[in-house]
Protein backbone atom coordinates (compact mmCIF):
# COMPACT_ATOMS: atom_id res chain seq x y z
CA UNK A 1 0.00 0.00 0.00
CA UNK A 2 1.48 3.33 -0.98
CA UNK A 3 1.54 6.32 1.42
CA UNK A 4 -0.92 8.63 -0.26
CA UNK A 5 -3.72 6.89 -2.15
CA UNK A 6 -4.03 7.83 -5.82
CA UNK A 7 -6.58 10.64 -6.22
CA UNK A 8 -9.94 9.87 -7.78
CA UNK A 9 -9.84 10.77 -11.48
CA UNK A 10 -12.37 13.48 -12.31
CA UNK A 11 -13.97 11.48 -15.12
CA UNK A 12 -13.90 8.10 -13.36
CA UNK A 13 -17.33 6.56 -13.86
CA UNK A 14 -19.25 4.82 -11.10
CA UNK A 15 -19.06 1.02 -11.46
CA UNK A 16 -22.32 -0.80 -10.94
CA UNK A 17 -21.58 -4.41 -10.05
CA UNK A 18 -24.42 -6.88 -9.81
CA UNK A 19 -22.37 -9.84 -8.62
CA UNK A 20 -21.06 -10.25 -5.14
CA UNK A 21 -18.41 -12.93 -5.43
CA UNK A 22 -16.84 -12.57 -2.02
CA UNK A 23 -18.65 -11.67 1.15
CA UNK A 24 -16.42 -12.85 3.90
CA UNK A 25 -15.60 -11.26 7.20
CA UNK A 26 -12.49 -9.58 5.82
CA UNK A 27 -13.32 -9.26 2.14
CA UNK A 28 -16.12 -7.89 -0.08
CA UNK A 29 -15.21 -8.49 -3.73
CA UNK A 30 -11.90 -6.67 -4.25
CA UNK A 31 -12.29 -4.67 -1.03
CA UNK A 32 -10.26 -5.89 1.96
CA UNK A 33 -11.90 -4.67 5.15
CA UNK A 34 -9.95 -2.78 7.79
CA UNK A 35 -11.58 -1.00 10.74
CA UNK A 36 -15.09 0.37 11.07
CA UNK A 37 -15.02 4.15 10.61
CA UNK A 38 -18.66 5.05 11.00
CA UNK A 39 -22.13 3.93 11.86
CA UNK A 40 -25.31 5.69 10.85
CA UNK A 41 -29.00 5.05 10.94
CA UNK A 42 -28.80 3.04 7.76
CA UNK A 43 -25.60 1.11 7.94
CA UNK A 44 -21.97 0.79 8.80
CA UNK A 45 -18.97 2.29 7.03
CA UNK A 46 -15.63 0.44 6.85
CA UNK A 47 -12.23 1.59 5.74
CA UNK A 48 -11.19 -0.85 2.99
CA UNK A 49 -8.33 -1.38 0.60
CA UNK A 50 -9.33 -1.70 -3.02
CA UNK A 51 -6.85 -4.43 -3.97
CA UNK A 52 -7.40 -3.93 -7.71
CA UNK A 53 -6.59 -0.23 -7.70
CA UNK A 54 -4.41 -0.16 -4.60
CA UNK A 55 -6.24 2.62 -2.86
CA UNK A 56 -8.25 3.16 0.27
CA UNK A 57 -12.03 3.52 0.05
CA UNK A 58 -14.88 3.96 2.50
CA UNK A 59 -17.33 1.06 2.08
CA UNK A 60 -20.85 1.75 3.27
CA UNK A 61 -22.78 -1.45 3.94
CA UNK A 62 -26.54 -1.21 4.12
CA UNK A 63 -29.01 -4.03 4.82
CA UNK A 64 -31.90 -3.70 2.37
CA UNK A 65 -34.45 -4.46 5.09
CA UNK A 66 -33.94 -4.04 8.76
CA UNK A 67 -36.34 -6.25 10.82
CA UNK A 68 -38.73 -3.33 11.51
CA UNK A 69 -38.82 -2.51 7.80
CA UNK A 70 -39.59 -6.14 6.93
CA UNK A 71 -42.92 -6.33 8.78
CA UNK A 72 -44.11 -2.96 7.42
CA UNK A 73 -43.07 -3.96 3.93
CA UNK A 74 -44.81 -7.34 3.98
CA UNK A 75 -48.02 -5.62 5.04
CA UNK A 76 -47.77 -2.98 2.30
CA UNK A 77 -46.80 -5.36 -0.50
CA UNK A 78 -49.69 -7.70 0.43
CA UNK A 79 -52.10 -4.81 -0.11
CA UNK A 80 -50.70 -4.11 -3.58
CA UNK A 81 -52.53 -4.46 -6.86
CA UNK A 82 -51.21 -6.86 -9.49
CA UNK A 83 -48.62 -5.24 -11.77
CA UNK A 84 -47.74 -2.43 -9.35
CA UNK A 85 -44.05 -1.89 -8.58
CA UNK A 86 -43.15 -3.52 -5.24
CA UNK A 87 -42.76 -0.99 -2.44
CA UNK A 88 -39.19 -0.50 -1.24
CA UNK A 89 -38.37 -0.57 2.45
CA UNK A 90 -37.52 2.84 3.86
CA UNK A 91 -33.87 1.78 4.19
CA UNK A 92 -33.67 0.56 0.61
CA UNK A 93 -35.52 3.65 -0.58
CA UNK A 94 -33.01 5.85 1.19
CA UNK A 95 -29.95 3.99 -0.13
CA UNK A 96 -31.34 3.96 -3.68
CA UNK A 97 -31.92 7.70 -3.42
CA UNK A 98 -28.35 8.17 -2.19
CA UNK A 99 -27.00 6.09 -5.09
CA UNK A 100 -29.16 7.91 -7.68
CA UNK A 101 -27.84 11.29 -6.55
CA UNK A 102 -24.23 10.36 -5.84
CA UNK A 103 -23.84 8.59 -9.21
CA UNK A 104 -24.47 11.90 -10.90
CA UNK A 105 -22.22 14.13 -8.81
CA UNK A 106 -18.72 15.13 -9.83
CA UNK A 107 -17.56 17.95 -7.62
CA UNK A 108 -14.55 18.70 -5.46
CA UNK A 109 -16.77 19.38 -2.43
CA UNK A 110 -18.97 16.30 -2.71
CA UNK A 111 -17.78 12.83 -1.68
CA UNK A 112 -17.34 10.67 -4.77
CA UNK A 113 -19.14 7.39 -5.23
CA UNK A 114 -16.85 4.87 -6.93
CA UNK A 115 -18.75 1.58 -7.08
CA UNK A 116 -22.09 0.11 -6.11
CA UNK A 117 -22.29 -3.64 -5.46
CA UNK A 118 -25.94 -4.55 -5.68
CA UNK A 119 -26.44 -8.29 -6.05
CA UNK A 120 -30.16 -9.17 -5.93
CA UNK A 121 -29.28 -12.52 -4.32
CA UNK A 122 -27.81 -10.77 -1.26
CA UNK A 123 -29.51 -8.74 1.41
CA UNK A 124 -26.87 -6.01 1.56
CA UNK A 125 -25.95 -3.17 -0.80
CA UNK A 126 -22.37 -1.88 -0.79
CA UNK A 127 -21.28 1.63 -1.70
CA UNK A 128 -17.56 2.22 -2.25
CA UNK A 129 -16.80 5.90 -1.82
CA UNK A 130 -13.65 7.98 -1.83
CA UNK A 131 -12.17 7.77 1.66
CA UNK A 132 -12.14 11.09 3.48
CA UNK A 133 -9.59 10.37 6.14
CA UNK A 134 -9.65 13.81 7.81
CA UNK A 135 -12.93 12.78 9.52
CA UNK A 136 -15.97 14.79 10.50
CA UNK A 137 -15.71 18.54 11.04
CA UNK A 138 -15.29 18.76 14.83
CA UNK A 139 -16.71 22.02 16.11
CA UNK A 140 -17.07 21.84 19.86
CA UNK A 141 -14.89 20.76 22.74
CA UNK A 142 -16.24 18.90 25.80
CA UNK A 143 -16.99 22.27 27.43
CA UNK A 144 -19.13 23.22 24.40
CA UNK A 145 -16.59 25.84 23.38
CA UNK A 146 -15.87 26.46 19.67
CA UNK A 147 -12.80 24.62 18.37
CA UNK A 148 -12.36 26.33 15.01
CA UNK A 149 -10.91 29.74 14.22
CA UNK A 150 -12.88 32.30 12.20
CA UNK A 151 -10.59 31.64 9.23
CA UNK A 152 -11.13 27.85 9.39
CA UNK A 153 -14.88 28.44 9.67
CA UNK A 154 -14.85 30.67 6.59
CA UNK A 155 -12.99 28.07 4.58
CA UNK A 156 -15.43 25.29 5.60
CA UNK A 157 -18.51 27.41 4.84
CA UNK A 158 -17.04 28.39 1.47
CA UNK A 159 -16.48 24.71 0.58
CA UNK A 160 -20.05 23.81 1.53
CA UNK A 161 -21.39 26.77 -0.49
CA UNK A 162 -19.59 25.41 -3.56
CA UNK A 163 -20.87 21.86 -3.01
CA UNK A 164 -24.43 23.09 -2.45
CA UNK A 165 -24.26 25.41 -5.43
CA UNK A 166 -23.42 22.41 -7.62
CA UNK A 167 -26.25 20.33 -6.12
CA UNK A 168 -28.85 23.09 -6.46
CA UNK A 169 -27.71 23.83 -10.00
CA UNK A 170 -28.55 20.24 -10.85
CA UNK A 171 -31.91 20.26 -9.05
CA UNK A 172 -30.81 18.46 -5.87
CA UNK A 173 -31.70 19.61 -2.34
CA UNK A 174 -29.46 17.90 0.24
CA UNK A 175 -31.87 18.29 3.21
CA UNK A 176 -29.42 17.22 5.93
CA UNK A 177 -26.60 19.74 6.02
CA UNK A 178 -24.90 19.62 9.43
CA UNK A 179 -21.29 19.36 10.67
CA UNK A 180 -21.52 15.54 10.95
CA UNK A 181 -22.18 15.35 7.20
CA UNK A 182 -19.08 17.38 6.34
CA UNK A 183 -15.83 15.42 6.10
CA UNK A 184 -12.26 16.61 5.71
CA UNK A 185 -9.82 15.31 3.15
CA UNK A 186 -6.60 13.75 4.50
CA UNK A 187 -4.67 17.06 4.59
CA UNK A 188 -7.66 18.91 6.09
CA UNK A 189 -7.70 21.52 3.35
CA UNK A 190 -11.01 20.60 1.71
CA UNK A 191 -14.40 19.74 3.15
CA UNK A 192 -16.81 17.46 1.27
CA UNK A 193 -20.52 16.84 1.73
CA UNK A 194 -21.69 13.26 2.45
CA UNK A 195 -24.98 11.45 3.17
CA UNK A 196 -27.57 11.87 0.45
CA UNK A 197 -30.09 9.45 2.03
CA UNK A 198 -32.80 12.12 2.44
CA UNK A 199 -31.89 14.30 -0.53
CA UNK A 200 -34.49 15.32 -3.08
CA UNK A 201 -34.27 15.79 -6.82
CA UNK A 202 -36.67 17.51 -9.15
CA UNK A 203 -35.97 18.45 -12.80
CA UNK A 204 -38.00 21.67 -12.39
CA UNK A 205 -35.53 23.08 -9.87
CA UNK A 206 -32.55 22.51 -12.15
CA UNK A 207 -30.67 25.51 -13.48
CA UNK A 208 -28.38 23.45 -15.60
CA UNK A 209 -29.18 23.20 -19.28
CA UNK A 210 -30.36 19.79 -20.40
CA UNK A 211 -27.54 19.80 -22.95
CA UNK A 212 -24.73 19.97 -20.39
CA UNK A 213 -24.30 16.21 -20.26
CA UNK A 214 -25.79 15.80 -16.79
CA UNK A 215 -28.56 13.21 -16.98
CA UNK A 216 -31.37 13.31 -14.43
CA UNK A 217 -31.40 10.50 -11.88
CA UNK A 218 -33.29 7.74 -13.67
CA UNK A 219 -35.95 6.57 -11.22
CA UNK A 220 -38.57 9.27 -10.54
CA UNK A 221 -40.35 7.15 -7.94
CA UNK A 222 -37.39 7.67 -5.60
CA UNK A 223 -38.16 11.38 -5.37
CA UNK A 224 -41.76 12.00 -4.35
CA UNK A 225 -42.87 15.58 -3.86
CA UNK A 226 -44.75 14.47 -0.71
CA UNK A 227 -41.37 13.50 0.81
CA UNK A 228 -40.43 17.17 0.87
CA UNK A 229 -43.10 17.82 3.48
CA UNK A 230 -41.72 15.16 5.83
CA UNK A 231 -39.62 16.37 8.76
CA UNK A 232 -36.58 14.38 7.73
CA UNK A 233 -33.16 15.64 8.67
CA UNK A 234 -31.78 16.59 12.07
CA UNK A 235 -34.26 18.51 14.31
CA UNK A 236 -31.99 21.42 15.40
CA UNK A 237 -30.95 22.03 11.79
CA UNK A 238 -34.42 22.05 10.22
CA UNK A 239 -35.79 25.21 8.61
CA UNK A 240 -39.03 26.85 9.87
CA UNK A 241 -40.93 25.84 6.72
CA UNK A 242 -39.93 22.19 7.34
CA UNK A 243 -41.00 22.14 10.99
CA UNK A 244 -43.99 24.38 10.36
CA UNK A 245 -46.84 23.49 12.68
CA UNK A 246 -50.47 24.39 11.94
CA UNK A 247 -51.96 27.16 14.03
CA UNK A 248 -52.59 26.22 17.67
CA UNK A 249 -56.27 27.00 17.31
CA UNK A 250 -56.54 24.42 14.54
CA UNK A 251 -58.26 21.16 15.49
CA UNK A 252 -55.36 19.03 14.16
CA UNK A 253 -52.65 21.07 15.81
CA UNK A 254 -50.10 19.03 17.79
CA UNK A 255 -50.32 21.84 20.35
CA UNK A 256 -53.67 20.48 21.40
CA UNK A 257 -52.22 17.09 22.14
CA UNK A 258 -48.93 18.25 23.67
CA UNK A 259 -49.99 20.04 26.84
CA UNK A 260 -50.48 23.54 25.51
CA UNK A 261 -47.18 25.25 25.10
CA UNK A 262 -48.16 28.86 24.88
CA UNK A 263 -49.68 28.84 28.34
CA UNK A 264 -47.05 26.60 29.95
CA UNK A 265 -43.53 27.15 31.24
CA UNK A 266 -42.21 27.29 27.66
CA UNK A 267 -44.24 30.29 26.66
CA UNK A 268 -42.66 31.73 23.53
CA UNK A 269 -43.78 35.31 23.84
CA UNK A 270 -40.52 37.22 24.31
CA UNK A 271 -38.86 38.20 21.04
CA UNK A 272 -41.28 36.04 19.13
CA UNK A 273 -42.22 36.66 15.53
CA UNK A 274 -45.63 35.94 14.08
CA UNK A 275 -45.77 32.70 12.15
CA UNK A 276 -47.18 32.81 8.60
CA UNK A 277 -50.73 31.46 8.49
CA UNK A 278 -49.86 29.10 5.63
CA UNK A 279 -46.87 26.84 5.34
CA UNK A 280 -44.28 28.43 3.02
CA UNK A 281 -43.23 26.16 0.13
CA UNK A 282 -40.23 23.90 0.70
CA UNK A 283 -37.45 24.93 -1.65
CA UNK A 284 -33.67 24.77 -1.82
CA UNK A 285 -33.69 27.62 0.73
CA UNK A 286 -33.95 24.89 3.41
CA UNK A 287 -30.28 24.03 2.73
CA UNK A 288 -29.31 27.69 3.32
CA UNK A 289 -31.01 27.56 6.72
CA UNK A 290 -29.21 24.33 7.71
CA UNK A 291 -25.94 25.80 6.46
CA UNK A 292 -26.58 28.85 8.68
CA UNK A 293 -27.18 26.62 11.72
CA UNK A 294 -23.94 24.79 10.86
CA UNK A 295 -22.13 28.14 10.52
CA UNK A 296 -23.51 29.22 13.91
CA UNK A 297 -22.36 25.93 15.52
CA UNK A 298 -18.81 26.36 14.22
CA UNK A 299 -18.70 29.95 15.53
CA UNK A 300 -20.27 29.43 18.96
CA UNK A 301 -19.96 25.71 19.78
CA UNK A 302 -23.72 25.20 20.19
CA UNK A 303 -26.87 25.37 18.08
CA UNK A 304 -28.93 28.61 17.86
CA UNK A 305 -32.22 26.96 18.83
CA UNK A 306 -32.32 24.55 21.75
CA UNK A 307 -34.85 22.85 23.95
CA UNK A 308 -34.86 24.89 27.20
CA UNK A 309 -33.41 23.21 30.27
CA UNK A 310 -36.83 23.40 31.90
CA UNK A 311 -38.25 21.09 29.23
CA UNK A 312 -39.85 17.88 30.44
CA UNK A 313 -39.18 14.18 29.78
CA UNK A 314 -41.67 13.95 26.96
CA UNK A 315 -39.56 13.78 23.79
CA UNK A 316 -42.50 14.69 21.58
CA UNK A 317 -43.22 17.75 23.70
CA UNK A 318 -39.54 18.83 23.65
CA UNK A 319 -39.36 18.47 19.89
CA UNK A 320 -42.46 20.59 19.66
CA UNK A 321 -40.85 23.29 21.86
CA UNK A 322 -37.80 23.26 19.59
CA UNK A 323 -39.91 23.56 16.43
CA UNK A 324 -41.85 26.44 17.91
CA UNK A 325 -38.59 28.20 18.73
CA UNK A 326 -37.31 27.68 15.21
CA UNK A 327 -40.54 29.09 13.74
CA UNK A 328 -41.10 32.05 16.02
CA UNK A 329 -38.04 32.95 18.13
CA UNK A 330 -35.04 35.12 17.44
CA UNK A 331 -31.57 33.75 18.16
CA UNK A 332 -28.83 35.25 20.27
CA UNK A 333 -25.04 35.34 20.10
CA UNK A 334 -22.38 34.76 22.76
CA UNK A 335 -19.89 37.41 23.81
CA UNK A 336 -17.19 35.96 21.58
CA UNK A 337 -17.05 33.79 18.47
CA UNK A 338 -14.56 31.19 17.21
CA UNK A 339 -11.56 29.68 18.99
CA UNK A 340 -9.88 33.07 18.48
CA UNK A 341 -12.51 34.67 20.79
CA UNK A 342 -13.50 37.51 18.50
CA UNK A 343 -15.83 39.92 20.35
CA UNK A 344 -19.30 39.91 18.86
CA UNK A 345 -20.75 43.15 20.23
CA UNK A 346 -24.05 41.30 20.77
CA UNK A 347 -26.94 40.34 18.51
CA UNK A 348 -27.16 43.90 17.08
CA UNK A 349 -23.56 45.24 17.21
CA UNK A 350 -23.09 49.03 17.27
CA UNK A 351 -19.89 48.93 15.23
CA UNK A 352 -21.31 47.75 11.95
CA UNK A 353 -17.90 47.62 10.23
CA UNK A 354 -16.21 45.12 12.52
CA UNK A 355 -15.62 41.59 11.23
CA UNK A 356 -17.92 40.10 13.86
CA UNK A 357 -20.78 42.41 12.89
CA UNK A 358 -20.36 41.37 9.23
CA UNK A 359 -20.65 37.75 10.35
CA UNK A 360 -23.73 38.42 12.52
CA UNK A 361 -25.34 40.31 9.61
CA UNK A 362 -24.59 37.37 7.32
CA UNK A 363 -26.16 34.94 9.81
CA UNK A 364 -29.15 37.25 9.96
CA UNK A 365 -29.61 37.04 6.16
CA UNK A 366 -29.27 33.26 6.25
CA UNK A 367 -31.57 32.71 9.24
CA UNK A 368 -34.58 34.55 7.85
CA UNK A 369 -37.70 32.64 8.88
CA UNK A 370 -39.43 33.53 5.61
CA UNK A 371 -37.62 31.56 2.89
CA UNK A 372 -38.42 34.31 0.37
CA UNK A 373 -36.39 36.83 2.42
CA UNK A 374 -33.51 34.38 3.04
CA UNK A 375 -30.25 35.08 1.22
CA UNK A 376 -29.83 32.95 -1.92
CA UNK A 377 -26.77 30.84 -2.65
CA UNK A 378 -25.48 33.12 -5.45
CA UNK A 379 -25.84 36.13 -3.11
CA UNK A 380 -24.13 34.25 -0.31
CA UNK A 381 -21.24 33.27 -2.56
CA UNK A 382 -20.71 36.94 -3.43
CA UNK A 383 -20.86 38.16 0.17
CA UNK A 384 -17.73 40.26 0.96
CA UNK A 385 -16.95 38.26 4.12
CA UNK A 386 -17.15 34.97 2.22
CA UNK A 387 -14.93 36.35 -0.58
CA UNK A 388 -12.44 37.91 1.81
CA UNK A 389 -8.92 36.48 1.47
CA UNK A 390 -9.45 35.13 -2.07
CA UNK A 391 -6.73 36.77 -4.21
CA UNK A 392 -8.84 37.21 -7.39
CA UNK A 393 -12.51 37.02 -6.33
CA UNK A 394 -13.88 37.67 -9.83
CA UNK A 395 -11.80 34.85 -11.32
CA UNK A 396 -12.74 32.58 -8.43
CA UNK A 397 -16.44 33.22 -9.00
CA UNK A 398 -16.10 32.34 -12.68
CA UNK A 399 -13.85 29.34 -12.08
CA UNK A 400 -16.11 27.83 -9.43
CA UNK A 401 -19.38 28.39 -11.27
CA UNK A 402 -21.26 25.07 -11.56
CA UNK A 403 -22.07 25.90 -15.17
CA UNK A 404 -18.35 25.24 -15.78
CA UNK A 405 -18.36 21.71 -14.37
CA UNK A 406 -19.39 19.02 -16.79
CA UNK A 407 -21.37 15.97 -15.79
CA UNK A 408 -20.01 12.42 -16.04
CA UNK A 409 -21.85 11.67 -19.24
CA UNK A 410 -20.40 14.82 -20.83
CA UNK A 411 -16.90 13.48 -20.12
CA UNK A 412 -17.92 10.11 -21.55
CA UNK A 413 -19.49 11.81 -24.56
CA UNK A 414 -16.31 13.79 -25.24
CA UNK A 415 -14.20 10.60 -25.00
CA UNK A 416 -16.56 8.69 -27.31
CA UNK A 417 -16.70 11.58 -29.80
CA UNK A 418 -12.92 11.88 -29.98
CA UNK A 419 -12.59 8.10 -30.44
CA UNK A 420 -15.15 8.26 -33.27
CA UNK A 421 -13.34 11.15 -34.96
CA UNK A 422 -10.07 9.20 -34.80
CA UNK A 423 -11.79 6.18 -36.36
CA UNK A 424 -13.14 8.31 -39.21
CA UNK A 425 -9.75 9.85 -40.01
CA UNK A 426 -7.86 8.05 -42.79
CA UNK A 427 -5.15 5.74 -41.45
CA UNK A 428 -1.84 7.48 -42.08
CA UNK A 429 0.02 5.82 -44.92
CA UNK A 430 3.67 5.11 -44.43
CA UNK A 431 5.77 7.41 -46.55
CA UNK A 432 8.37 5.38 -48.40
CA UNK A 433 11.92 6.52 -47.71
CA UNK A 434 13.44 8.63 -50.42
N1 LIG B 1 -16.50 8.73 2.41
C2 LIG B 1 -16.27 8.61 3.71
N3 LIG B 1 -15.02 8.69 4.21
C4 LIG B 1 -14.78 8.56 5.54
N5 LIG B 1 -15.75 8.36 6.47
C6 LIG B 1 -17.02 8.26 6.03
C7 LIG B 1 -17.35 8.38 4.64
N8 LIG B 1 -18.70 8.27 4.52
C9 LIG B 1 -19.18 8.08 5.76
N10 LIG B 1 -18.19 8.08 6.68
C11 LIG B 1 -18.35 7.93 8.14
O12 LIG B 1 -19.45 7.08 8.43
C13 LIG B 1 -20.47 7.80 9.15
C14 LIG B 1 -21.85 7.34 8.70
O15 LIG B 1 -22.01 7.60 7.31
P16 LIG B 1 -23.38 8.14 6.70
O17 LIG B 1 -23.74 9.43 7.36
O18 LIG B 1 -23.26 8.14 5.23
O19 LIG B 1 -24.36 6.96 7.17
P20 LIG B 1 -25.91 7.00 7.40
O21 LIG B 1 -26.33 5.64 7.83
O22 LIG B 1 -26.57 7.54 6.17
O23 LIG B 1 -26.00 8.05 8.57
P24 LIG B 1 -27.24 8.87 9.12
O25 LIG B 1 -27.70 8.12 10.32
O26 LIG B 1 -26.60 10.19 9.49
O27 LIG B 1 -28.24 8.98 8.03
C28 LIG B 1 -20.19 9.27 8.86
O29 LIG B 1 -20.65 10.10 9.87
C30 LIG B 1 -18.67 9.29 8.74
O31 LIG B 1 -18.06 9.39 10.01
- In this prediction the ipTM stands at 0.96
Query: Does residue 214 lie in a domain region?
Result: no
Q: Comparing 59 with 250, which gets the higher pLDDT?
A: 59
The predicted structure's pLDDT at residue 427: 47
The predicted structure's pLDDT at residue 215: 62
The predicted structure's pLDDT at residue 179: 97
Rounded-to-integer distance, Cα 92 and Cα 95, Å: 5
Q: Comparing 418 with 246, which gets the higher pLDDT?
A: 246
Query: Does residue 5 lie in a domain region?
Result: no
The predicted structure's pLDDT at residue 346: 93
Residue 45 CA: nearest ligand 1 atom is: 12
Alpha helical stretches, state H, 329-434: 355-366, 377-381, 384-387, 393-399, 408-424
Query: Does residue 97 lie in a domain region?
Result: yes
The predicted structure's pLDDT at residue 10: 62
Provide the β-strand partners of residue 38: 45
pLDDT at 434 over 50: no
> Ligand 1 mean position to 108 CA, how many Å?
18
Q: Which CATH number does the domain housing residue 306 bear?
A: 1.10.510.10
Across 282-297, average pLDDT: 97
Assess whether 183 and 113 both reside in one domain: no
Assess whether 93 and 140 both reside in one domain: no
Query: What is the residue-wise DSSP string for 8-67?
Result: PPTTPPPEEE-----EETTEETTEEEEEEEEE-SSEEEEEEEETTTTEEEEEEEEES--H
- The pLDDT confidence band at residue 401, using thresholds 50, 70 and 90, is very high
Most confident of the ranges 12-21, 31-40, 79-88, 237-246: 31-40
Ligand-binding site membership of 60 (annotated) = yes
Residue 176 is a catalytic residue: yes
Rounded-to-integer distance, Cα 152 and Cα 154, Å: 5
Percentage of the chain lying above the pLDDT 90 cut: 56
pLDDT at 69 over 80: no
pLDDT at 86 over 90: no
pLDDT at 90 over 50: yes
The predicted structure's pLDDT at residue 356: 95
Residue 198 CA: nearest ligand 1 atom is: 27
From the number of C-beta atoms within 10 Å of its C-beta (0-12, 13-18, 19+), residue 320 rates as: buried
- pTM recorded for the entire structure: 0.82
> Ligand 1 mean position to 165 CA, how many Å?
21
From the number of C-beta atoms within 10 Å of its C-beta (0-12, 13-18, 19+), residue 99 rates as: buried
Rounded-to-integer distance, Cα 333 and Cα 344, Å: 7
- What distance lies between CA 205 and its chain's CA centroid? 17
The predicted structure's pLDDT at residue 78: 59
The predicted structure's pLDDT at residue 254: 40
Assess whether 177 and 188 both reside in one domain: yes
- Given 114, 131, 148, the domain boundary residue is 131
Assess whether 188 and 334 both reside in one domain: yes
Nearest CA to ligand 1 atom 28: 38
Q: How far apart are the first and last CA of the chain?
A: 53
- Sequence-separated (6 or more) residues with CB below 8 Å from residue 1: 49, 54, 56
Rg of the chain in Å (alpha carbons): 24
> Ligand 1 mean position to 159 CA, how many Å?
18
The predicted structure's pLDDT at residue 260: 30
For ligand 1, say whether the CB of 136 is within 6 Å of any of its atoms.
yes
Assess whether 54 and 42 both reside in one domain: yes
- The pLDDT confidence band at residue 265, using thresholds 50, 70 and 90, is very low
Query: Does residue 40 lie in a domain region?
Result: yes
Across 78-92, 235-249, 353-367, least confident range: 78-92
Assess whether 352 and 293 both reside in one domain: yes
Percentage of the chain lying above the pLDDT 70 cut: 71
Assess whether 344 and 377 both reside in one domain: yes
Query: Does residue 352 lie in a domain region?
Result: yes
Query: Does residue 415 lie in a domain region?
Result: yes
Across 48-57, 61-70, 121-130, 276-285, least confident range: 61-70
Across 36-40, 186-190, 285-289, 401-405, least confident range: 401-405
Assess whether 34 and 60 both reside in one domain: yes
Rounded-to-integer distance, Cα 349 and Cα 73, Å: 55
Q: Tell me: the pLDDT tens digits for 368-395? A: 999 999 999 999 999 999 999 999 999 9
pLDDT at 108 over 60: yes
Rounded-to-integer distance, Cα 348 and Cα 160, Å: 26
For ligand 1, say whether the CB of 43 is within 6 Å of any of its atoms.
yes
> Ligand 1 mean position to 182 CA, how many Å?
9
Across 274-278, 401-405, 413-417, least confident range: 413-417
pLDDT at 194 over 90: yes
- How many domains does the chain divide into? 2
- The pLDDT confidence band at residue 397, using thresholds 50, 70 and 90, is very high
Q: Tell me: the pLDDT tens digits for 306-347? A: 887 766 777 788 888 899 999 999 999 999 999 999 999 999
The predicted structure's pLDDT at residue 218: 59
Q: Comparing 41 with 287, which gets the higher pLDDT?
A: 287
Across 286-296, average pLDDT: 98
Across 229-246, average pLDDT: 84
Mean pLDDT, the chain, whole residue set:
81
Q: Which CATH number does the domain housing residue 31 bear?
A: 3.30.200.20
CB 56 within 8 A of CB 6: no
Query: Does residue 45 lie in a domain region?
Result: yes
Task: For residue 398, give its domain range.
Answer: 132-203+233-245+273-427
Q: Which of 50, 118, 159, 176 is catalytic?
A: 176
Amino acid sequence: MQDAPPPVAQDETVRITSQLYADRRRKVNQYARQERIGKGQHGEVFLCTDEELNREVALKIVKRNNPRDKIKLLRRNNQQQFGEKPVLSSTEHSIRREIAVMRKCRHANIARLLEVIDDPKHDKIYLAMEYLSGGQVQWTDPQHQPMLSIEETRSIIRDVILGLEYLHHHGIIHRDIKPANLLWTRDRTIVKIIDFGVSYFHPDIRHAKSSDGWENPSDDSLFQEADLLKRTGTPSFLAPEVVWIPDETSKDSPANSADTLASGSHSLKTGSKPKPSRRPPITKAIDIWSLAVTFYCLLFGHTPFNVPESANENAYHNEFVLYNQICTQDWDVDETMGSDHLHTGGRHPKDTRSESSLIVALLDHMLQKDPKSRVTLPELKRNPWILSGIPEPKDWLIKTSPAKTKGPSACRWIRQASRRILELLPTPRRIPPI
